[in-house]
């Protein structure tokens, strides 16, 4: 399983689109992890069917997916285009994808 940086550890607010491409015919899940978030700091995930133009807030069982200090990991099916929005943080925080993919662009 490979680790890929979505948002490098930093304190600034960041919005970044990421395309997760599998080179396998199987849709294997990817794991998104937020590291370094504290108390009320968050990173929100949205999905896109058209490479980032139209965004749909990611939900699990009808609830928005917001990564936080206490809920810092989520699994997603690939391939998919995701956008991650990280709030400004007091300490350096980053978002990473761990997946069986060979390429993230």
The CATH number given to whatever domain includes residue 37 is: 2.60.120
- The answer to whether the beta carbons of residues 82 and 18 sit under 8 Å apart is yes
Domain housing 47:
2-104
Strand partners, 8: none
Summarised one tens digit per residue, pLDDT across range 35-84 is 999 999 999 988 876 666 777 887 777 888 899 999 999 888 766 778 88
| Phi-psi map region of 61: left, alpha, beta (phi>0 left; psi -120 to 50 alpha) | left
Q: How many structural domains comprise the chain?
A: 1
pLDDT above 50 (res 6): yes
By three-state DSSP, how is residue 31 classified? strand
pTM of the model: 0.81
Per-residue pLDDT averaged across 23-27, rounded?
53
**Positive/negative CA dihedral, 34, 100, 46, 73:** negative
């Amino acid at each position: 399983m490979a680790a890929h940086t979505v948002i490098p550890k930093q304190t600034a607010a960041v919005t970044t689109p990421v395309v997760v491409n599998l080179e396998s015919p199987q849709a294997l899940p990817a794991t998104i992890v937020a590291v370094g978030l504290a108390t009320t700091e968050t990173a929100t995930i949205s999905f896109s069917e058209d490479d980032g133009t139209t965004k749909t807030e990611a939900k699990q069982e009808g609830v928005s997916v917001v990564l936080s200090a206490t809920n810092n990991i989520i699994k997603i099916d690939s391939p998919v285009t995701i956008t991650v929005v990280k709030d400004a943080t007091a300490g350096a925080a980053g978002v990473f994808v761990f997946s069986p993919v060979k390429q993230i662009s």
